[in-house]
Structure 1
Amino acid sequence: MKLAYFVLPHLGGTYTVFRQLRRGLAPYDVDLRWLGLRHEAGAFDPALAEEAALGTSLDMASFPDEREMVRRLADILLAEGFDGVVVNVLSDRVQTNIVRYLPPEILRFMVVHTITPGTYAAACAIAPHVHATICVCRRARDDLVERHGFPAGRIHVIPNAVSLDDFQREERAARTEGLRLLFLGRIDDSSKGVLWLPEILARAPDTATLTVVGHGPDLPRLQAVLPASPRITFLGAVGPRAVPALMARHDIFLMPSRYEGSPMALVEAMAGGCVPVASALRGVTDMVVDDGFDGLLFPVGDRKKAADLLCALDGDRSRLSRLSAAARAKVAGSFTVARMAMRYAEVLRRTAANPPPTAPALPIEAWSLPQGLRPGLRTYLPRPVKNWLRLVLERLPV
């Protein structure tokens, strides 16, 4: 089976999932290739230069409109013998929408990566044209089935995973004084809660240090409120090969996210024995972290509680060591690429053997974005209002 995975090589979780899946699905005779639309011309990040051979990109500027762009994508899928596509919902609106226009012989799978209303709206918009849905966390599956009417038999939960081989070569650096804290991810306060980091660090033990790894729209704001000091280091974005060593050099992975899906960096941290102290997101982080056994969770936005957990670990290094060992064991038992690939392969095999009915393909000449892929009311809400709403809703009792 040959599948196109709609993504471009980049330093981020979605492409990391592609890399892991491509490797894991190869033994099942699944050839996974990336296919993407480039908004800007130029070379890929040097850290991903060799990835260019694993897929095809189209320069959006070379097409007069989206209709011709979609026609070209469909031509590539047919000409190169792809059996199906994997759509990462909302990673690109054009490629999310294309499943409504593909011929019936192309299998269509969508992956729901996060728990936002916008993502759910987009998933609902294309669901009639999709053969199977894969959610990376229980929360997304439950929400789509219970609140949006998705058929339970065509929706699957397969969390993201890592290759333990990438982490076993790194030995953890022992240290008895000063917690080494790490934040790794997109520097975006609306999702990652990065502007809560300064208060958490201020309440943490004075000997704690923080390393911030990543790029994003809120990097200047974060640097403004975390001025340079011996306690703080900004490394910028790093390539995937650098991640295991980073995890080995730090004690705690700090993740104050407002929302997530199946955070790849969280699983990578645990694989490297870097103990997670993370937001408690129902059906998301509690699916990965067993609170108190292989990591610690705090209520979303509760900076004091997060800092209290750090202080407690600073005073109990034996507990920190136990959590670290348990985190590694959790990944080895539940979040390996082999396990993830096996579950994907089963979904692919069953769907290909007996494709469920889908809505008829729409003519490309009638190309348009449905309601769920257009900006909604929430798009125009001020960011502080949206952040407040997320915080309130996340803390409501189930």
Structure 2
Amino acid sequence: MKLAYFVKPHLGGTYTVFRQLRKGLRAHGIEVEWMGLSHDAREATAWTDTSENGVLLHTESCSSEKQQAEAMLAALHERGFDGVFVNVLADRVQMNLARYLPAHMLRIMIVHNITPGTYAAARALRDHVHATVGVSQRCRRDLVVRHGFPVSRTFAIPNALEVEEIADRRRRREPAEPLGVLYLGRVEDASKGVFWLPDIMAAVTEPVTLTVAGDGPDLEALKKRLEPHAAITTFLGAVSPDQVPETLASHDVLLMPSRFEGFGLTLLEAMAAGCVPVVSDIAGVTDTIAENDVSGIRFPIGDWRAAARSIDELGRNPERLATMSVAARHRVADKFGLKRMAGSYARLIEDMAHQRPAIALPLPMDEWATPLGLRAGLRTYLPAPVKNWLRVARERWYRNPSRDAA
């Protein structure tokens, strides 16, 4: 069995999932290669493993999305793929292609986030895929309960990693050292809540340093907002996957103030490295990964004062920090190891190979059209402060036990 994973190399969780999935499924005799579309002739990647792990299709000469889709379909046939993994809110052409693939080709959709836009896109493809995987319990529950996905074909398979790759790199903090706090990820406020970092740093009373590792659209604005804390702040820029374990192991605390996450692979990587997470409490997501006050500390979304108090508590109590560091590593090894994730995907693929469920018939390529869920919706035009307020309000509502009675 050979499957294409629709993505192209980038510094992000979707490609990291590919790298882990490829490694894990190989042990089950299932080959996975990435396949991406390039719309820019100047595009090149600095990744060293891409040529043997996948292919980038250059489609600059294609005058329409339909032609791009036809080029991708031809490549799927030429390279002998038996099926595809479709990542929601990746490339729009690749997502839409799932509705046009030949009937014999297996289609597994992976939903990586919990936003209304993500769910709208997934719903547009729902009837054209054989199985849908949510990367967290929250994803699966939302898809089934609120978006009509069939229970029998919708699964929760948490992301995972090979813990051994991150083992034995932990740098022990000296008693006189300030607590090393790390933000690692895309520097973007809408989802990652990075503009809360200055507020958190202003409220922290214990000696700390802050490292911001990552790049993104809000990097320059964040640098300006953190100018009052310049003496304790370092910006590393983008960090390659190979540098992530060492970066995590050289810090004490991962600060993750996200407004929303589908899973939080960075959280998992931090815990595997023994870097204690102080993370937003996102229902069905972070609360399924970090056990509060055991393998991490969770705080209400947007409550920067609570985040600061948690950092201070860890700074004052090195014994507790050390205990939680060990517990975090054990948590990942016990619940989120690569073998567990790969086994779940392998069983799903094998089940689909033996008895493939009936789905909607493939659409004719001559009738190529983009469904509503894959187009920009009205939410795209809302001002950022309004969207951010709605995101926090939605998560607080989700935390309300009476929500399903409404």
User: Could you state the TM-score of these two structures normalised by the residue count of structure 2?
Assistant: 0.96
CA deviation after TM superposition for structure 1 residue 337, in Å: 1.1
Residue pair 2:179, 2:315 contacting (<8 A) in 1 also: yes
Partner SS state of residue 100, structure 1: coil
Aligned counterparts of 1:11 and 1:149: Cα–Cα separation in 2: 32
Aligned in 2, Cα 1:230/1:335: closer, same or farther, shift over 3 Å? same
Partner SS state of residue 9, structure 1: coil
Equivalent residues in 2 for 1:314-353, closer than 5 Å: 314-353=315-354
Output the amino acid matched with 2:181: L
Alignment match, 2:205:
205
Unaligned runs of 5+ residues in structure 2 are 402-406
Aligned counterparts of 2:217 and 2:380: Cα–Cα separation in 1: 17
CA deviation after TM superposition for structure 1 residue 59, in Å: 2.0
Alignment match, 1:168:
167
CA deviation after TM superposition for structure 1 residue 229, in Å: 2.4
State how many pairs are aligned.
Answer: 397
Residue pair 2:170, 2:274 contacting (<8 A) in 1 also: no
Residue pair 1:172, 1:273 contacting (<8 A) in 2 also: no
Aligned counterparts of 1:44 and 1:16: Cα–Cα separation in 2: 19
Aligned counterparts of 1:205 and 1:178: Cα–Cα separation in 2: 11
Aligned counterparts of 2:189 and 2:285: Cα–Cα separation in 1: 18
Aligned counterparts of 1:143 and 1:33: Cα–Cα separation in 2: 29
Alignment match, 1:249:
250
Aligned counterparts of 2:204 and 2:142: Cα–Cα separation in 1: 36
Equivalent residues in 2 for 1:257-276, closer than 5 Å: 257-276=258-277
CA deviation after TM superposition for structure 1 residue 43, in Å: 5.5
CA deviation after TM superposition for structure 1 residue 45, in Å: 3.9
Residue pair 1:9, 1:52 contacting (<8 A) in 2 also: no
Deviations 1:166-202 (A, max 9, x none): 1114133322231100000001100000000010011
Deviations 1:130-155 (A, max 9, x none): 00000001111111111111111101
Alignment match, 2:404:
none
Residue pair 2:256, 2:279 contacting (<8 A) in 1 also: yes
CA deviation after TM superposition for structure 1 residue 206, in Å: 4.9
Alignment match, 1:100:
99
CA deviation after TM superposition for structure 1 residue 92, in Å: 1.3
Output the amino acid matched with 1:80: R
Alignment match, 1:282:
283
Residue pair 2:24, 2:342 contacting (<8 A) in 1 also: yes
Alignment match, 1:7:
7
Output the amino acid matched with 1:163: E
Instruction: Compute the RMSD of aligned alpha carbons.
Output: 1.1
Aligned in 2, Cα 1:41/1:205: closer, same or farther, shift over 3 Å? farther
Alignment match, 2:124:
125
Output the amino acid matched with 2:346: A
User: Could you state the TM-score of these two structures normalised by the residue count of structure 1?
Assistant: 0.98
Deviations 1:77-107 (A, max 9, x none): 1222111000000111111111000000100
CA deviation after TM superposition for structure 1 residue 40, in Å: 2.7
Unaligned runs of 5+ residues in structure 1 are none
Moved over 6 A (4+): none
Aligned residues with identical type, % of pairs: 50
Asked if residue 392 in structure 1 is aligned to residue 393 in structure 2, the reply is yes
Alignment match, 2:237:
236
Aligned counterparts of 1:330 and 1:41: Cα–Cα separation in 2: 44
Equivalent residues in 2 for 1:349-360, closer than 5 Å: 349-360=350-361
Residue pair 2:255, 2:279 contacting (<8 A) in 1 also: yes
Output the amino acid matched with 2:2: K
Partner SS state of residue 325, structure 1: helix
Output the amino acid matched with 2:230: S
Alignment match, 1:110:
109
Deviations 1:353-373 (A, max 9, x none): 111001010111111110111
